[in-house]
Amino acid sequence: MFFSFAVRNLRRHWIRSALSIIGIVIGVVAIASLGIMGNSINLLVANIITDVGDTVVITPHTAIGGTFAGDPRTAVDAAIPAREVEEIRRAVNPHRTIRVLQGADEVEFGRGESGYTQIVGLASDDIPILLELAEGQYPRQNQPGALVGTYLAAEYDIAPGSSLTIGNESIRVAGVLEERGFAADINPDYAIVVPDDWYESHFGTNDAYPMVIVRVGDVEQIDAVKDAIENRINRREDIVDVFDSRDMLRQYEEIYQQITAFLVGIGGISLIVAAVNILNVMYISVTERIREIGVMRSLGALRREVLRMFLYEATILGLIGSIIGGIASAVSGYLISLAAVEVFTAGTTFGENFTVFDQSAVGFIVFGMAFGIGTSIAAGFYPAWIASQLAPVDAMRQK
Amino acid sequence: MNGEPILRFEDVTKIYPLPAGDVVALDHVSLTVDAGEFIAVMGPSGSGKSTLLNMMGCLDVPTTGKIYLSGQEISRMGDDDLTRLRRDRIGFVFQQFNLIPLLSAVENVEFPLVLTTGREESRRRAIEVLRMMHLDDALFSHRPGELSGGEQQRVAIARALVNDPDLLLCDEPTGNLDSKTGTAIMDLLAEENREGKTIVMVTHDPNVAAYARRTVQIVDGRLA
């Protein structure tokens, strides 16, 4: 009875109702699709980041320490002196210490193509521990050979056996690396990896290393290893920053969770605007029907029945808006995410086999819809309450 | 009924507190309405007629004094109980008709009944009462805006009678009608009274008051 009343009243002012519904649709779509997008970015990052869970990464301490590997603010030309590296090696014994040399140089790829490329120098016997080959073989001791990152190889059509010119020096390509993704330690997908002796003879040596990696066989011992390094090297002053890959994953997760929260927050604001609109519409509806409410009350409609009638109106608006919004956000969230994935993974294979809709994307849609219905009811409650509290005699006196 | 009156006012006073000073709308009014009576309440505007009618109709409660409806004291009841009394025991006819514009004629009539009874039964009863009011069947599905004043008042009376109330209260029932239509409406009310319905009617029109079997004068909140 009161439900059909509510429906009729919404139909009587269908333009007003439609506008309120549009407001809710926009709000729900904003929340849900931005949520889905944030979530997709999250998933994608999780997909790209190589989980090297047993790795501790040591970098020289910079003014802005303790953030994450690759924080642009830490990109200063600093290195850990060989003396300290030796200290680290002793501290973490028997775990393996890997010294990483990193630089960049002009590289000729053949056929007149060249570019500035990152060069990573690693001890020959450390290379197989860190990196996997897609094709070719690891460079052997005393026999210089380069390993090329998979994207670089794909871009310049490089295969084992071809040769590159780094600076003015020619070097044979021994192998192409497996796609590694974004890792806590080194990111060789777009780089060239060479043995450290070749690196040092090419770039000259200054007995310092921009990064040291410690491979800890057992994840349980990571904290002990980190403590050992801190105690040994950083006792008097901070010389190095020590991370493990779990820290970095945590930090990335935090960052992306914040992005998601931020996006959802923007959506929430638009839904609040929609809620104010509903409040306004419902308030007008109550005001212009005061007399009618008075008549209904005098005929025997209870306060809670009047309250219910107006809440039905708000709920119907919220429900229709949320359903349309849910469908629309499933579509738009999918498209936005596809676009985002496209941008984020341009030139890589990480976007392949990537599903946009997982459980939490559906969760965002459900959350958006629930939020839409919830705010509608909340916004409708105050006008409904006012309507129900009117004294019938006073209400009927209104013209 | 065991001789118990439909309505008994015992020393009822109603004071409206206003910023400019209290207004005494009813001043120690005592009154009895017996079953089957047809009473006209007359008096100048502002005399307290409407306040009296509102209290009879459980729309308002007295400041002091007691009101009994069929022996049940209503002067201290809460809103929900008063609302249920209006729904089950009282019928209202207003000067402005006060039909609900969203509803068709027959839906307006069944409204008080649908609150408690099934839809089919309500519809059957609503149609029965509308026919008693001599309203053309073709008009049943019309909205109030599509009906003439006389037709609207017939629908309103049907609505007031649909729950078979103990007491039918009319506030200037012909006030918005021309005299010919007004006469037809008054004939309907008189007919209801002949069949045993208790009616209290507020009016300032002596011709309308003449239909009643007893007339009560009220001046400045006191019965004269």
Contact A300 B80 (CB under 8 A): no
Q: What is the DSSP letter of A13?
A: T
Average pLDDT of the residues of chain A: 81
B184 touches chain A (CB under 8 A): no
B143 touches chain A (CB under 8 A): no
Q: Token pair of B23, please?
A: 């207004």
Euclidean distance between CA atoms A197 and B28, whole angstroms: 115
Q: What is the DSSP letter of B141?
A: T
Q: Where are the alpha helices (DSSP H) in A122-244?
A: 127-130, 150-156, 196-203, 222-233
Strands B90-93, A146-148: pairing kind: unpaired
Determine the residue of chain A that is closest to B81 in CA distance.
A302
Q: Token pair of B87, please?
A: 């729904």
B145 touches chain A (CB under 8 A): no
pLDDT of residue B40: 95
Residue in B77, B80, B87 to test binding to A, most A beta-carbons within 10 Å: B87
Euclidean distance between CA atoms A130 and A185, whole angstroms: 9
SS3 of residue B211 by DSSP: coil
Query: Looking at residues A37-46, what average pLDDT do you find?
Result: 74
B120 touches chain A (CB under 8 A): no
Write out the DSSP string of A84-121: HHHHHHHHHTTSEEEEEEEEEEEEEEETTEEEEEEEEE
SS3 of residue A294 by DSSP: helix
A13 touches chain B (CB under 8 A): no
Determine the residue of chain B that is closest to A2 in CA distance.
B115
Residues from chain B that touch A285, judged by Cβ atoms under 8 A, are none
pLDDT of residue A48: 67
Determine the residue of chain A that is closest to B117 in CA distance.
A1
Residue A47: which pLDDT band, with cuts at 50, 70 and 90?
Answer: low
pTM of the model: 0.69
Query: What is the value of ipTM here, to two decimals?
Result: 0.91
Residues from chain B that touch A12, judged by Cβ atoms under 8 A, are 102
Residue in A299, A305, A388, A399 to test binding to B, most B beta-carbons within 10 Å: A299
SS3 of residue A64 by DSSP: coil
Contact B92 A299 (CB under 8 A): yes
B111 touches chain A (CB under 8 A): yes
Write out pLDDT tens, residues A213-260: 888 877 778 888 888 888 888 877 777 888 877 777 777 778 878 888
Q: Token pair of A122, please?
A: 């690693």
Separation in Å, CA of B82 to nearest CA in chain A: 8
Name the most confidently modeled range: A65-69, A157-161, B135-139.
B135-139
CB A191 within 8 A of CB A118: yes
Residue B96, CA distances (Å) to A163, A393, B178, B205 in order = 100, 13, 13, 16
Q: How far is CA A83 from the centre of its chain?
A: 39
Residue B1: which pLDDT band, with cuts at 50, 70 and 90?
Answer: very low
Query: Between residues A337 and A155, which one has the greater pLDDT?
Result: A155
pLDDT of residue B125: 94
Amino acid symbol at A78: A
Q: Token pair of A211, please?
A: 């990064």
Q: Least CB-CB distance to A292: which of B54, B83, B100? A: B100
Q: Which residues are CB-contacts of A118 (< 8 A; sequence separation ≥ 6)?
A: A102, A103, A104, A190, A191, A192
Q: What is the DSSP letter of B152?
A: H
Q: Token pair of B88, please?
A: 């089950």
Contact A300 B84 (CB under 8 A): yes
Q: Indicate whether B214 pLDDT > 50.
A: yes
Contact A298 B59 (CB under 8 A): yes
A399 touches chain B (CB under 8 A): no
Q: Where are the alpha helices (DSSP H) in B36-78?
A: 49-56
Query: Between residues A66 and A210, which one has the greater pLDDT?
Result: A210
Share of chain B above pLDDT 70, in %: 99
Write out pLDDT tens, residues A169-198: 888 888 998 887 767 678 888 889 988 888
Q: Helix, strand, coil: what percent of chain B each, to 5?
A: 35, 25, 40
Write out pLDDT tens, residues A273-294: 888 888 888 888 888 888 888 9
Residue B5's region, left for phi above 0, alpha for psi from -120 to 50, else beta, is: beta
Residue B138, CA distances (Å) to A31, B141, B146, B147 in order = 51, 7, 12, 11
pLDDT of residue A71: 59
CB count in 10 Å sphere of residue B216: 20
**Nearest-CA neighbor of A242 among A50, A75, A89, A55?**
A55
B1 touches chain A (CB under 8 A): no
Contact A296 B111 (CB under 8 A): yes
| Burial profile A222-238: b = 16 or more Cβ within 10 angstroms, e = fewer | beebbebbbebbeeeee
H or E segment at B64? strand B64-69
A17 touches chain B (CB under 8 A): no
**Nearest-CA neighbor of A183 among A48, A294, A302?**
A48
Query: Looking at residues A101-113, what average pLDDT do you find?
Result: 84
CB A368 within 8 A of CB A32: yes
A303 touches chain B (CB under 8 A): yes
Q: Token pair of A324, please?
A: 């349309």
Contact A396 B98 (CB under 8 A): yes
Contact A299 B111 (CB under 8 A): yes
Q: Indicate whether B43 pLDDT > 50.
A: yes
Euclidean distance between CA atoms A224 and B105, whole angstroms: 85
A1 touches chain B (CB under 8 A): yes
Separation in Å, CA of B178 to nearest CA in chain A: 21
Q: Least CB-CB distance to A393: which of B59, B114, B115? A: B59
Separation in Å, CA of B51 to nearest CA in chain A: 10
Contact B84 A9 (CB under 8 A): no
Q: Indicate whether B114 pLDDT > 50.
A: yes
Q: Least CB-CB distance to B92: which of A8, A9, A298? A: A298
Strands A169-177, A146-148: pairing kind: parallel
Residue A353: which pLDDT band, with cuts at 50, 70 and 90?
Answer: low
Query: Looking at residues B78-100, what average pLDDT do you find?
Result: 92
